[in-house]
Structure 1
């Protein structure tokens, strides 16, 4: 009897953790709507909510903690350890501790997922992520056609590019570039004969449409890279015959998207090709304020990296060092264009890390 009760508690623990992971997925994406209503520190409130859920789930798991070995364990632990060591060189321990706490929460969520979720739970979480991407993209598409129901959340946001409920087209583009390959995998693995495959096709269509409407070139380039990677992977695993059949779905969906945008009468296709073509024209890039701004931030970040190549300047304190290094570059390289003297992000994951 005691063994049966113990097994029931174990199964209940697994269900609670699985449900908690779904809550984290929901509130880390759709939670923007609720936390924006707080008006101030909405991102902080969202992060605190996710951290609280993760800590509660950890309390359920800690009594039966068993670590499962995966290929990602060592790289993730190494990254967390490197950030921990960087506390010894930080110029502001309070800023760094806040960032380190966030990294440790991410590590905790990873351990909860790999050690507690069964295959069916992983599939459920996978589909939930795609559903969230579909909903957020659908809001953006409706926004493009004038049904901007969430404008009151971000009254100062741009009107020429969609931002859904994220408040910034670049944020939306980066988010959708991560979700779109997942919808594509759902479509390719299940095909159009299964409900999951049909949902994957619809989601892929809506998310890709939303990605185009953001006009975020870096996100489109990122998806292009993942698209090529998936193509090679499927070609190697499935062979040329299945490769052609599966990718015909993508071709049809892409054509439908372009025709839909063309008939919308708002010049989005022309605008998209113009924005994307600037990446291939060096002369246009020199006059592109967005590109030049990022290059300015990267130059400053590289100078910072040269002085601190091992542990960096410390977690979360890039914004404190940025004005100093940009001032030095302004002095010694007056011919290089500079923009803002305040920046909290590198806009480059490799340099940020």
Structure 2
């Protein structure tokens, strides 16, 4: 059966649109879109008799060697894992991340980018509106801002997803496509405010750090944007201050970040930490304890680590008592310490090399052409790296896939039509 080139193009456009729209809130939909996109790509090459070319192009993508190093490091760690079952079972998730970036890079042609932009913006606004609406409904029902924004996801993951979207709408507002009408520009300006407020309502400290890093990094790298950025930064600080005044839970979250860190204490008894400090600083103290635990695992297994996805099965060995309200944790809530603990120094080196390659590619793209896509990827990555200090965002679909979307869009936006 032969399918026309036009039908393949429509399928590819639909898959990219679904991917961009759903990456903010649905693992099922975004993975379905990814596999549909991969299927369309393979079918197109098979029909043209160019399947070997597809593999050559995959091997020629700019991060191929760094991805292979990362995948090999994970396999090496799994071979020497303490518990090999979950270690090998986890490896396909690493492979899917590689396939995601490769498929997006190969499929998201330049002519599709504007469509992707519209659907990602729509998904971001919808997700932010639902998250903010959830908090507003809770306030109208109970008269308190205790509820955190977290539509479709837990507040931490939701905040990270919104930070990625914030980088996107700020980039499009600062460097809008020349073809945009004033109404589209106003839509994205309104989206900046909505998404910013939504991030504040998640009350997630890691997201706050990422949120602050984005305009700060933009200000540092592009002197031409500084005047407009300064106005936006001032406006956002004003909005944030007003939100903190009106929302005592948000205000307490910000203030207790310092007092919680200063008040971090050792466990009440060896190997136990239930709650330390007030309720706003317990999360900080639990993370500090998890970080100590991750480093202890690394010291015992410095080369290959304890194995991917092995923290949960090894937790009781290093922490016999409960931690907070949980008996066992499967994450140390720090991507870099997680890799040190699970994959050793080799795994951490592979991760840092991959992250360095991603940033270098984004910087190269931005230097080649200043546009919304290249600014999005370049400003997003430092914030993403920072957010991974308090979470393991790279290991979650919603966040990692969105970052790959930004980097693929950035790369393809500077490719000449004949090269594509």
TM-score above 0.5: yes
8 Å Cα contact 1:137/1:164 also seen in 2: no
1:171 aligned onto 2:157: yes
The residue that corresponds to 1:334 in the other structure is: none
Question: 1:284, 1:193 → 2: CA distance?
Answer: 52
Question: 2:120, 2:302 → 1: CA distance?
Answer: 36
The residue that corresponds to 1:121 in the other structure is: 112
Query: C-alpha deviations, 1:251-291, integer Å up to 9, x for none?
Result: 335535654x47xxx931x4333321223344455522110
1:318 corresponds, among 311, 320, 331, to 311
8 Å Cα contact 2:146/2:249 also seen in 1: no
1:295 aligned onto 2:288: yes
Q: 1:159 to 1:313 in 2, by over 3 A?
A: farther
TM-score by length of 2: 0.64
1:218 aligned onto 2:206: yes
The residue that corresponds to 1:67 in the other structure is: 57
8 Å Cα contact 1:95/1:316 also seen in 2: yes
Q: 1:95 to 1:116 in 2, by over 3 A?
A: same
Residues 279-294 of structure 1 aligned to structure 2 (within 5 Å):
279-281=257-259, 282-284=261-263, 287=277, 288-294=281-287
8 Å Cα contact 1:54/1:105 also seen in 2: no
8 Å Cα contact 1:301/1:351 also seen in 2: yes
Displacement after TM superposition at 1:205 (Å): 0.8
The residue that corresponds to 1:132 in the other structure is: 123
Displacement after TM superposition at 1:214 (Å): 1.1
Query: C-alpha deviations, 1:301-349, integer Å up to 9, x for none?
Result: 111122223332222222111221223xx7xxxxxx9544411122112
Residues 1-353 of structure 1 aligned to structure 2 (within 5 Å):
9=5, 12-31=7-26, 49=32, 52-53=35-36, 56-57=39-40, 59-60=42-43, 63=46, 64=50, 65=54, 66-67=56-57, 69-146=60-137, 160-190=146-176, 194-235=182-223, 238=224, 242-256=225-239, 258-259=241-242, 261=243, 267-268=246-247, 270-281=248-259, 282-284=261-263, 287=277, 288-327=281-320, 338-339=323-324, 340-353=326-339
Question: 2:9, 2:62 → 1: CA distance?
Answer: 23
Query: C-alpha deviations, 1:1-23, integer Å up to 9, x for none?
Result: xxxx99x53x6444423422332
The residue that corresponds to 2:372 in the other structure is: none
8 Å Cα contact 1:136/1:164 also seen in 2: no
TM-score by length of 1: 0.75
Displacement after TM superposition at 1:24 (Å): 2.9
8 Å Cα contact 1:278/1:284 also seen in 2: no
Query: C-alpha deviations, 1:120-160, integer Å up to 9, x for none?
Result: 323432443332222111111112221799x9xxxxxx971
Question: 1:127, 1:51 → 2: CA distance?
Answer: 18
Question: 1:93, 1:87 → 2: CA distance?
Answer: 6
Instruction: Considering Cα pairs closer than 8 Å and 6+ residues apart, tell me whether 1 or 2 has the greater RCO.
Output: 2
Question: 1:276, 1:182 → 2: CA distance?
Answer: 25
Question: 1:15, 1:254 → 2: CA distance?
Answer: 43
